[in-house]
């Protein structure tokens, strides 16, 4: 098989890239290791920046998002028993959209099926080859038969553990990483949210986040030890711990119920650079990971593929230099998002190893933030998302 762009990975990054390329008239094929059901079963982020919303609208998949998503004009910060609202709309003129990654993926899957572009699911032994020369290809086994997709370029959208980045020679890539000494215990439940906007809490018991996916489905998180295990947490134990970390008025309103999903996610910051190696381009989690504190993971993936699609479009229109700038443009935005996510994580979580001095520095940072319009504006600008370059 021959195509212009072979995309490895059918998560939201790969599917959105495929949709953007289709819109530009660029042929593409997606190769995915997992089944469609597995891809849709991943529980991930639910806060979309305006850039991500605009890209979904551009490819014609925004109808359900606008009908069912929840536009948010701000969020609450809680520390020392007090709550403070960050007015995103008032400070920046922008808002965010609460709409789950699962729904984004479903909409993009449906769009790809409607336009008839090829996707190979359950592709085994995927190999990314020839990207350091003029004849790149992606080979894989499907239903016991070996296939090869020849292409002009390969887009690696296959996540942190995917084959794309792993195929780059070790000497050609620089990796930067920070591993945080805690994780997030998250619960998804069909209960109404405790508040109409998100609540980020810095408490003596650790960080908490009260989030939602809809008016009837909530997503809650509490900071936990990396040594902890989901099996140690009954639903009752989780709700009791969350209630202890919520502000008193929200704790009284908390509606509990059986969990749909419960998991512990470790937190890390990671960047691989550059994001281009010959005819192989990395995007999304294949190139970088952010802590979930600032909801940047899916949004960074969207901005990556937005830039990459634009570079490919320029290339096929005759501007051969377009693709040369992808890595630098993407990394400029990636590092800014990494900084924001690191800062927000460092301010909101408990780091016992930092002692009382470190704890008071966090409180001083929070106090300065809520008392300074300039500081709140800087936070709000980063939270709603910086412009696409």
Q: Is 26 exposed, middle or buried (0-12, 13-18, 19+ CB in 10 A)?
A: buried
- Flag whether 232 is in a domain: no
- Flag whether 284 is in a domain: yes
Question: In the chain, what are the helix, strand and coil shares in percent, each to the nearest 5?
Answer: 40, 30, 30
Boundaries of domain holding 342: 5-177+267-384
By the 8 A CB rule, do 33 and 123 touch?
yes
Whether the upstream peptide bond of residue 32 has omega within 30° of 0, thus cis, is no
- Flag whether 356 is in a domain: yes
Q: Report which of 46, 86, 65 is spatially closest to residue 220, judged by C-alpha positions.
A: 46
What's residue 150's pLDDT? 98
DSSP secondary structure string for all residues of 229-259:
-GGG--HHHHHHHHHHHS-HHHHHH-----E
What's residue 42's pLDDT? 79
What's residue 152's pLDDT? 97
pTM of the model: 0.94
- Flag whether 142 is in a domain: yes
Q: Report which of 4, 1, 7 is spatially closest to residue 112, judged by C-alpha positions.
A: 7
What's residue 44's pLDDT? 74
- Flag whether 313 is in a domain: yes
Residues in the chain with pLDDT < 50?
none
Question: Strand pairing partners for 189?
Answer: 218, 259
pLDDT tens for 147-175 read 999 999 999 999 999 999 999 998 999 99
Indicate the number of domains in the chain. Answer: 1
C-alpha 311/C-alpha 24 separation (Å) is: 11
Helical segments of 281-372, H only: 297-316, 326-348, 355-371
By the 8 A CB rule, do 46 and 98 touch?
yes
- Flag whether 91 is in a domain: yes
What's residue 290's pLDDT? 96
What's residue 81's pLDDT? 87
- Tell me, what DSSP letter sits at residue 89? H
C-alpha 193/C-alpha 214 separation (Å) is: 8
Catalytic positions: 72, 200, 292, 296, 383
CATH number at residue 11: 3.50.50.60
pLDDT tens for 266-306 read 999 999 999 999 999 999 999 999 999 989 999 999 999 99
- Flag whether 242 is in a domain: no
By the 8 A CB rule, do 279 and 131 touch?
yes
- Flag whether 280 is in a domain: yes
């Amino acid at each position: 098989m021959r195509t212009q762009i072979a995309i490895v990975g059918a998560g939201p990054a790969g599917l959105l890239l495929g949709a953007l390329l289709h819109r530009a008239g660029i042929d593409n094929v997606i190769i995915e290791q997992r089944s469609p059901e597995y891809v849709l079963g991943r529980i991930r982020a639910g806060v979309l920046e305006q850039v991500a919303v605009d890209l979904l609208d551009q490819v014609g998949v925004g109808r359900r998002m606008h009908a069912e998503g929840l536009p948010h004009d701000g969020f609450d910060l809680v520390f020392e028993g007090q709550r403070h609202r960050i007015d995103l709309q008032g400070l920046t003129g922008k808002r965010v959209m609460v709409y789950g990654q699962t729904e984004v993926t479903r909409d993009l899957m449906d769009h790809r099926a409607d336009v008839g572009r090829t996707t190979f699911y359950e592709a085994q032994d995927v190999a990314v080859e020839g990207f350091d020369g003029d004849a790149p290809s992606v080979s894989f086994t499907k239903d016991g038969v070996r296939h090869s997709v020849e292409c002009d370029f390969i887009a690696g959208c296959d996540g942190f553990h995917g084959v794309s980045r792993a195929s780059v020679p070790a000497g050609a890539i620089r990796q930067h990483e920070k591993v945080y000494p805690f994780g997030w215990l998250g619960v998804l439940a069909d209960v109404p949210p405790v508040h109409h906007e998100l609540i980020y809490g810095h408490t003596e018991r650790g960080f908490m986040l009260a989030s939602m996916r809809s008016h009837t489905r909530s997503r809650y998180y509490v900071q936990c030890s990396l040594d902890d295990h989901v099996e140690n947490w009954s639903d009752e134990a989780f709700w009791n711990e969350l209630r202890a970390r919520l502000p008193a008025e929200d704790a009284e309103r908390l509606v509990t119920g059986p969990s749909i999903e419960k998991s512990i996610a470790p937190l890390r910051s990671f960047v691989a650079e550059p994001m281009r190696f010959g005819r192989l381009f990395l995007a999304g989690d294949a190139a970088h990971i952010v802590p979930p504190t600032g909801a940047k993971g899916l949004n960074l993936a969207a901005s990556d593929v937005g830039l990459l699609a634009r570079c490919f479009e320029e290339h096929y229109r005759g501007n051969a230099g377009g693709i040369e700038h992808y890595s630098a443009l993407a990394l400029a935005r990636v590092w800014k998002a990494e900084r924001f996510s690191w800062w927000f994580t460092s301010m909101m979580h408990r780091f016992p190893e930092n002692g009382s001095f470190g704890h008071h520095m966090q409180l001083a940072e929070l106090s300065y933030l809520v008392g300074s319009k300039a500081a709140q504006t800087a936070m709000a600008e980063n939270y709603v998302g910086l412009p696409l370059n």
